[in-house]
Structure 1
Amino acid sequence: MNMENKILRGLMWTPESGRLSFREVRYLLIRPETVVAVQKAAEEALGERAGELFYAGGFAGGSLSSRRYKEAFGYSDRQIVDFMCRMGRQIGWGRFEVVELDDAAGRLVVDVYDSPFAEAYGPADHAVCHLIRGVLAGLASGLFQADVEAVESPCAAQGAARCHFAIQRKRSSTHA
Protein backbone atom coordinates (compact mmCIF):
# COMPACT_ATOMS: atom_id res chain seq x y z
CA MET A 1 0.00 0.00 0.00
CA ASN A 2 1.27 3.45 -0.92
CA MET A 3 1.49 5.38 2.35
CA GLU A 4 2.11 8.77 0.72
CA ASN A 5 -0.43 11.40 1.80
CA LYS A 6 -0.98 13.38 -1.40
CA ILE A 7 -3.57 15.60 0.23
CA LEU A 8 -1.19 16.83 2.94
CA ARG A 9 1.61 17.18 0.41
CA GLY A 10 -0.68 19.24 -1.82
CA LEU A 11 -1.94 21.61 0.89
CA MET A 12 -0.96 25.21 0.34
CA TRP A 13 -0.69 27.61 3.26
CA THR A 14 -0.81 31.35 2.70
CA PRO A 15 0.76 32.95 5.80
CA GLU A 16 -0.53 36.46 5.09
CA SER A 17 -4.19 35.42 5.11
CA GLY A 18 -4.02 32.23 7.14
CA ARG A 19 -5.58 30.32 4.22
CA LEU A 20 -5.07 26.56 3.89
CA SER A 21 -6.14 25.10 0.54
CA PHE A 22 -5.92 22.03 -1.65
CA ARG A 23 -6.25 22.60 -5.41
CA GLU A 24 -7.65 26.08 -4.71
CA VAL A 25 -10.35 24.74 -2.37
CA ARG A 26 -10.13 26.14 1.17
CA TYR A 27 -9.92 23.80 4.16
CA LEU A 28 -9.44 24.19 7.88
CA LEU A 29 -8.06 22.01 10.61
CA ILE A 30 -10.40 21.51 13.55
CA ARG A 31 -10.49 19.03 16.41
CA PRO A 32 -13.31 16.48 16.24
CA GLU A 33 -14.18 17.33 19.85
CA THR A 34 -15.05 20.86 18.71
CA VAL A 35 -17.41 19.56 16.03
CA VAL A 36 -18.97 17.08 18.45
CA ALA A 37 -19.46 19.75 21.13
CA VAL A 38 -21.42 21.83 18.60
CA GLN A 39 -23.34 18.71 17.56
CA LYS A 40 -24.27 17.83 21.14
CA ALA A 41 -25.35 21.42 21.86
CA ALA A 42 -27.52 21.35 18.73
CA GLU A 43 -29.00 18.00 19.80
CA GLU A 44 -29.80 19.47 23.21
CA ALA A 45 -31.63 22.38 21.59
CA LEU A 46 -33.16 20.67 18.55
CA GLY A 47 -33.34 16.96 19.29
CA GLU A 48 -33.07 14.61 16.32
CA ARG A 49 -33.30 17.52 13.85
CA ALA A 50 -29.73 18.46 14.79
CA GLY A 51 -28.39 15.47 12.88
CA GLU A 52 -30.04 16.74 9.71
CA LEU A 53 -28.22 20.07 10.07
CA PHE A 54 -24.85 18.30 10.20
CA TYR A 55 -25.97 16.05 7.34
CA ALA A 56 -26.81 19.15 5.25
CA GLY A 57 -23.37 20.62 5.91
CA GLY A 58 -21.69 17.37 4.93
CA PHE A 59 -23.90 17.09 1.84
CA ALA A 60 -22.84 20.55 0.66
CA GLY A 61 -19.16 19.75 1.18
CA GLY A 62 -19.38 16.33 -0.47
CA SER A 63 -21.27 17.67 -3.44
CA LEU A 64 -18.94 20.62 -4.01
CA SER A 65 -15.71 18.66 -3.47
CA SER A 66 -16.66 15.69 -5.62
CA ARG A 67 -17.81 17.92 -8.48
CA ARG A 68 -14.66 20.09 -8.26
CA TYR A 69 -12.20 17.21 -8.10
CA LYS A 70 -14.02 15.12 -10.72
CA GLU A 71 -13.63 18.04 -13.14
CA ALA A 72 -10.07 18.88 -12.06
CA PHE A 73 -8.78 15.33 -12.49
CA GLY A 74 -11.16 14.10 -15.22
CA TYR A 75 -12.23 11.18 -13.03
CA SER A 76 -14.86 8.55 -13.82
CA ASP A 77 -17.59 7.89 -11.25
CA ARG A 78 -15.60 5.04 -9.70
CA GLN A 79 -12.42 7.11 -9.65
CA ILE A 80 -14.07 10.05 -7.84
CA VAL A 81 -15.56 7.69 -5.24
CA ASP A 82 -12.14 6.15 -4.66
CA PHE A 83 -10.51 9.60 -4.55
CA MET A 84 -13.03 10.98 -2.05
CA CYS A 85 -12.59 7.91 0.16
CA ARG A 86 -8.79 8.23 0.02
CA MET A 87 -9.13 11.92 0.77
CA GLY A 88 -11.36 11.19 3.77
CA ARG A 89 -8.67 8.92 5.15
CA GLN A 90 -5.86 11.36 4.37
CA ILE A 91 -7.58 14.28 6.12
CA GLY A 92 -8.18 12.22 9.25
CA TRP A 93 -11.84 11.22 8.91
CA GLY A 94 -11.10 7.49 9.32
CA ARG A 95 -10.42 4.58 6.98
CA PHE A 96 -13.01 4.56 4.20
CA GLU A 97 -13.70 1.32 2.32
CA VAL A 98 -16.04 1.17 -0.66
CA VAL A 99 -18.26 -1.86 -0.19
CA GLU A 100 -20.48 -1.28 -3.23
CA LEU A 101 -20.92 1.20 -6.06
CA ASP A 102 -23.77 0.33 -8.41
CA ASP A 103 -24.48 3.20 -10.80
CA ALA A 104 -27.40 1.39 -12.45
CA ALA A 105 -29.13 0.74 -9.12
CA GLY A 106 -28.12 4.14 -7.72
CA ARG A 107 -26.43 2.64 -4.66
CA LEU A 108 -23.23 3.49 -2.79
CA VAL A 109 -22.18 1.62 0.36
CA VAL A 110 -19.10 2.66 2.35
CA ASP A 111 -17.68 1.43 5.65
CA VAL A 112 -15.64 3.85 7.76
CA TYR A 113 -13.32 2.52 10.43
CA ASP A 114 -12.02 4.72 13.25
CA SER A 115 -14.40 7.66 12.68
CA PRO A 116 -13.12 10.64 14.68
CA PHE A 117 -16.72 11.79 15.16
CA ALA A 118 -17.87 8.50 16.71
CA GLU A 119 -14.75 8.43 18.89
CA ALA A 120 -15.18 12.01 20.11
CA TYR A 121 -18.92 11.56 20.64
CA GLY A 122 -18.49 8.51 22.86
CA PRO A 123 -21.03 5.75 23.45
CA ALA A 124 -24.47 6.49 22.00
CA ASP A 125 -27.72 4.68 21.34
CA HIS A 126 -27.94 6.23 17.85
CA ALA A 127 -25.74 6.89 14.83
CA VAL A 128 -23.73 10.12 15.19
CA CYS A 129 -21.57 10.51 12.07
CA HIS A 130 -23.93 12.87 10.27
CA LEU A 131 -21.16 14.85 8.54
CA ILE A 132 -19.75 11.71 6.91
CA ARG A 133 -23.25 10.53 5.98
CA GLY A 134 -23.86 13.91 4.35
CA VAL A 135 -20.54 13.96 2.47
CA LEU A 136 -21.23 10.52 1.01
CA ALA A 137 -24.80 11.51 0.13
CA GLY A 138 -23.58 14.67 -1.62
CA LEU A 139 -21.08 12.58 -3.58
CA ALA A 140 -23.71 9.97 -4.52
CA SER A 141 -26.35 12.54 -5.45
CA GLY A 142 -23.98 14.05 -7.97
CA LEU A 143 -22.98 10.67 -9.39
CA PHE A 144 -26.55 9.43 -9.76
CA GLN A 145 -27.95 12.85 -10.73
CA ALA A 146 -30.76 12.18 -8.28
CA ASP A 147 -31.97 12.80 -4.77
CA VAL A 148 -30.72 10.14 -2.39
CA GLU A 149 -31.49 8.65 1.00
CA ALA A 150 -28.52 8.05 3.29
CA VAL A 151 -28.49 5.85 6.37
CA GLU A 152 -25.75 5.11 8.87
CA SER A 153 -26.34 1.79 10.60
CA PRO A 154 -24.55 0.72 12.61
CA CYS A 155 -22.27 3.44 13.97
CA ALA A 156 -19.08 2.86 15.93
CA ALA A 157 -20.54 5.07 18.68
CA GLN A 158 -23.14 2.32 19.13
CA GLY A 159 -20.36 -0.19 19.78
CA ALA A 160 -19.93 -1.47 16.21
CA ALA A 161 -16.51 -2.17 14.72
CA ARG A 162 -17.16 0.39 11.98
CA CYS A 163 -19.68 2.91 10.72
CA HIS A 164 -21.71 1.56 7.79
CA PHE A 165 -23.21 4.01 5.32
CA ALA A 166 -25.76 3.04 2.67
CA ILE A 167 -26.79 5.67 0.15
CA GLN A 168 -29.61 4.90 -2.27
CA ARG A 169 -31.18 6.88 -5.10
CA LYS A 170 -34.74 7.82 -4.17
CA ARG A 171 -37.41 6.07 -6.22
CA SER A 172 -39.11 9.28 -7.35
CA SER A 173 -36.32 11.82 -7.56
CA THR A 174 -36.79 15.48 -8.47
CA HIS A 175 -33.05 16.24 -8.54
CA ALA A 176 -32.23 19.45 -10.40
Structure 2
Amino acid sequence: MSTHAPEMPITVDDETGVWTTDALPMLYVPRHFFINNHQAVEDEIGAERYAEILYKAGYKSAWHWCEKEAELHGMSGAAVFEHYMLRLSQRGWGLFSIETLDLEAGKAQVRLDHSAFVYHYGKVGRKIDYMFTGWFAGAIDQINGALGNDIKTVARQVQCAAEEGIEYGLFEVTPLT
Protein backbone atom coordinates (compact mmCIF):
# COMPACT_ATOMS: atom_id res chain seq x y z
CA MET A 1 0.00 0.00 0.00
CA SER A 2 2.80 2.42 0.72
CA THR A 3 4.16 2.30 -2.85
CA HIS A 4 1.49 4.79 -3.89
CA ALA A 5 1.66 6.97 -0.81
CA PRO A 6 1.69 10.62 -1.79
CA GLU A 7 5.05 12.33 -1.82
CA MET A 8 3.53 15.74 -2.15
CA PRO A 9 3.37 18.61 0.29
CA ILE A 10 0.01 19.62 1.66
CA THR A 11 -0.08 23.07 3.17
CA VAL A 12 -2.98 24.63 5.00
CA ASP A 13 -3.26 28.40 5.11
CA ASP A 14 -3.80 29.36 8.77
CA GLU A 15 -5.80 32.43 7.80
CA THR A 16 -8.14 30.95 5.15
CA GLY A 17 -8.06 27.20 5.82
CA VAL A 18 -7.32 26.58 2.11
CA TRP A 19 -5.41 23.36 1.45
CA THR A 20 -2.76 23.50 -1.29
CA THR A 21 -0.78 20.73 -2.94
CA ASP A 22 1.94 21.71 -5.35
CA ALA A 23 0.55 24.66 -7.32
CA LEU A 24 -3.18 24.19 -6.74
CA PRO A 25 -5.77 24.67 -3.99
CA MET A 26 -7.38 21.37 -2.99
CA LEU A 27 -10.50 19.97 -1.31
CA TYR A 28 -10.33 16.92 0.89
CA VAL A 29 -13.59 14.98 1.28
CA PRO A 30 -14.50 11.36 2.12
CA ARG A 31 -15.01 9.10 -0.91
CA HIS A 32 -18.57 8.23 0.08
CA PHE A 33 -19.48 11.92 0.25
CA PHE A 34 -18.24 12.61 -3.26
CA ILE A 35 -19.71 9.47 -4.83
CA ASN A 36 -23.06 9.86 -3.09
CA ASN A 37 -23.30 13.34 -4.62
CA HIS A 38 -22.21 11.96 -7.99
CA GLN A 39 -24.87 9.25 -7.79
CA ALA A 40 -27.58 11.73 -6.80
CA VAL A 41 -26.91 13.90 -9.86
CA GLU A 42 -26.77 10.81 -12.09
CA ASP A 43 -30.12 9.61 -10.69
CA GLU A 44 -31.67 13.02 -11.34
CA ILE A 45 -30.46 13.77 -14.89
CA GLY A 46 -29.26 10.38 -16.15
CA ALA A 47 -25.80 8.92 -16.60
CA GLU A 48 -25.54 9.89 -20.28
CA ARG A 49 -26.27 13.59 -19.71
CA TYR A 50 -24.10 13.69 -16.59
CA ALA A 51 -21.24 12.09 -18.54
CA GLU A 52 -21.47 14.88 -21.15
CA ILE A 53 -21.31 17.57 -18.48
CA LEU A 54 -18.43 15.91 -16.64
CA TYR A 55 -16.48 15.38 -19.85
CA LYS A 56 -16.39 19.12 -20.54
CA ALA A 57 -15.60 20.04 -16.95
CA GLY A 58 -12.97 17.31 -16.63
CA TYR A 59 -11.30 18.31 -19.89
CA LYS A 60 -10.98 21.92 -18.72
CA SER A 61 -9.74 20.88 -15.27
CA ALA A 62 -7.12 18.46 -16.61
CA TRP A 63 -5.87 21.11 -19.01
CA HIS A 64 -5.47 23.58 -16.15
CA TRP A 65 -3.86 21.01 -13.83
CA CYS A 66 -1.31 19.87 -16.42
CA GLU A 67 -0.44 23.45 -17.32
CA LYS A 68 0.17 24.43 -13.68
CA GLU A 69 2.03 21.25 -12.72
CA ALA A 70 4.26 21.33 -15.82
CA GLU A 71 5.18 24.92 -15.00
CA LEU A 72 5.80 24.22 -11.31
CA HIS A 73 7.94 21.13 -11.87
CA GLY A 74 9.60 22.18 -15.14
CA MET A 75 8.19 19.18 -17.02
CA SER A 76 6.98 18.68 -20.57
CA GLY A 77 5.73 15.95 -22.88
CA ALA A 78 5.14 12.44 -21.63
CA ALA A 79 6.55 13.34 -18.20
CA VAL A 80 3.52 15.57 -17.57
CA PHE A 81 1.05 12.79 -18.44
CA GLU A 82 2.98 10.29 -16.31
CA HIS A 83 2.95 12.76 -13.40
CA TYR A 84 -0.80 13.27 -13.87
CA MET A 85 -1.50 9.52 -13.75
CA LEU A 86 0.65 9.21 -10.62
CA ARG A 87 -1.13 12.05 -8.85
CA LEU A 88 -4.59 10.69 -9.77
CA SER A 89 -3.52 7.33 -8.38
CA GLN A 90 -2.25 8.94 -5.19
CA ARG A 91 -5.54 10.74 -4.59
CA GLY A 92 -7.78 7.70 -4.22
CA TRP A 93 -9.59 7.64 -7.58
CA GLY A 94 -8.01 4.27 -8.40
CA LEU A 95 -4.70 3.14 -9.84
CA PHE A 96 -4.09 4.58 -13.30
CA SER A 97 -1.41 3.13 -15.56
CA ILE A 98 -0.42 4.15 -19.05
CA GLU A 99 -0.75 1.21 -21.44
CA THR A 100 0.27 3.23 -24.53
CA LEU A 101 1.10 6.87 -25.16
CA ASP A 102 1.87 8.52 -28.51
CA LEU A 103 1.53 12.26 -28.05
CA GLU A 104 2.37 13.16 -31.66
CA ALA A 105 -0.43 10.88 -32.91
CA GLY A 106 -2.83 12.01 -30.17
CA LYS A 107 -3.29 8.46 -28.91
CA ALA A 108 -3.20 6.80 -25.51
CA GLN A 109 -4.62 3.90 -23.58
CA VAL A 110 -5.02 4.19 -19.82
CA ARG A 111 -5.82 1.28 -17.54
CA LEU A 112 -7.74 1.80 -14.29
CA ASP A 113 -7.56 -0.71 -11.46
CA HIS A 114 -9.39 -0.35 -8.14
CA SER A 115 -11.76 2.39 -9.27
CA ALA A 116 -13.37 4.32 -6.42
CA PHE A 117 -16.63 4.23 -8.39
CA VAL A 118 -16.53 0.45 -8.82
CA TYR A 119 -15.80 0.02 -5.10
CA HIS A 120 -18.92 2.04 -4.33
CA TYR A 121 -21.29 0.88 -7.09
CA GLY A 122 -20.12 -2.73 -7.46
CA LYS A 123 -20.91 -4.86 -10.52
CA VAL A 124 -23.75 -2.89 -12.11
CA GLY A 125 -23.31 -4.05 -15.71
CA ARG A 126 -22.37 -0.70 -17.24
CA LYS A 127 -19.49 1.73 -17.60
CA ILE A 128 -19.47 4.01 -14.56
CA ASP A 129 -16.01 5.63 -14.70
CA TYR A 130 -17.11 8.20 -17.29
CA MET A 131 -16.01 11.05 -15.06
CA PHE A 132 -12.40 10.38 -16.07
CA THR A 133 -12.74 10.47 -19.86
CA GLY A 134 -12.47 14.24 -20.27
CA TRP A 135 -9.45 14.23 -17.99
CA PHE A 136 -7.38 12.17 -20.41
CA ALA A 137 -8.25 14.18 -23.52
CA GLY A 138 -7.74 17.48 -21.68
CA ALA A 139 -4.34 16.38 -20.42
CA ILE A 140 -3.15 15.13 -23.81
CA ASP A 141 -4.40 18.27 -25.59
CA GLN A 142 -2.72 20.61 -23.09
CA ILE A 143 0.57 18.72 -23.29
CA ASN A 144 0.45 18.64 -27.10
CA GLY A 145 -0.42 22.34 -27.23
CA ALA A 146 2.56 23.17 -25.03
CA LEU A 147 4.74 21.14 -27.43
CA GLY A 148 3.37 23.08 -30.44
CA ASN A 149 1.26 20.17 -31.71
CA ASP A 150 -2.28 21.38 -32.42
CA ILE A 151 -3.91 17.93 -32.65
CA LYS A 152 -7.15 17.64 -30.65
CA THR A 153 -8.30 14.41 -29.06
CA VAL A 154 -11.35 12.68 -27.67
CA ALA A 155 -11.42 10.01 -24.96
CA ARG A 156 -13.85 7.20 -24.25
CA GLN A 157 -14.12 4.38 -21.78
CA VAL A 158 -13.74 1.04 -23.56
CA GLN A 159 -14.44 -1.21 -20.59
CA CYS A 160 -15.21 -0.94 -16.89
CA ALA A 161 -14.68 -3.26 -13.94
CA ALA A 162 -18.35 -2.67 -13.03
CA GLU A 163 -19.28 -4.80 -16.06
CA GLU A 164 -19.61 -8.56 -15.63
CA GLY A 165 -16.44 -10.48 -16.45
CA ILE A 166 -14.28 -7.34 -16.64
CA GLU A 167 -11.44 -6.91 -14.14
CA TYR A 168 -10.24 -3.37 -14.90
CA GLY A 169 -11.23 -0.19 -16.65
CA LEU A 170 -9.71 0.84 -19.95
CA PHE A 171 -9.82 4.21 -21.70
CA GLU A 172 -8.73 5.19 -25.20
CA VAL A 173 -7.68 8.59 -26.40
CA THR A 174 -7.76 9.14 -30.17
CA PRO A 175 -7.51 12.13 -32.50
CA LEU A 176 -10.73 14.08 -32.92
CA THR A 177 -11.97 13.71 -36.48
Task: Give the letter aligned to residue 167 of structure 1.
Answer: V
Residue 121 of structure 2 corresponds to residue 121 of structure 1: yes
**CA-CA distance at 1:153 after TM superposition:** 1.8
Matches within 5 A, 1:18-167: 18-47=17-46, 48-144=48-144, 145-159=150-164, 160-167=166-173
Equivalent residue for 1:174?
none
- Tell me the SS of whatever aligns to 1:75: coil
Q: Percent identity?
A: 21
Q: Does 1:5 align with 2:6?
A: yes
- Aligned-pair Cα RMSD in Å: 1.9
User: What is the CA distance between 1:104 and its match in structure 2?
Assistant: 2.5
Deviations 1:17-72 (A, max 9, x none): 22111123111112232232222222222221111222223222211111111122
Q: What is aligned with 2:147?
A: none
In the alignment, structure 2 segments of 5+ residues that lack a partner are: 145-149
Contact 1:109/1:164 (8 A) holds in 2:
yes
| Change beyond 3 A, Cα 1:54–1:118 | farther
Structure 2 CA distance for partners of 1:32 and 1:58, relative to 1, 3 Å: farther
Matched AA of 1:125: G
Instruction: Supply the distance in 2 between the matched residues of 1:124 and 1:57 (Cα, whole angstroms).
Output: 25
Distance 1:136 1:162, change over 3 A: same
CA distance in 1, matches of 2:57, 2:120: 19
**CA–CA distance in structure 1, aligned partners of residues 102 and 44 of structure 2:** 38
Of stretches 86-95 and 128-137 in structure 1, the one that deviates more from structure 2 is: 128-137
The superposition leaves residues 81-119 of structure 1 with CA deviations (integer Å, 9 ceiling, x where unpaired) of 110111111111211111111123210111011011221
49-58 or 149-158, which deviates more: 49-58
Partner Cα separation in structure 2 for residue 92 and residue 41 of structure 1: 20
Q: How many residues align?
A: 168
User: Which ranges in structure 1 are unaligned for 5 or more consecutive residues?
Assistant: 172-176
- Listed one character per residue, the Cα deviations across residues 113-138 of structure 1 (whole Å, up to 9, x for unaligned) are 10112212222232111222222121
The alpha-carbon distance between structure 1 residues 60 and 85, as it changes in their structure 2 partners (threshold 3 A), is same
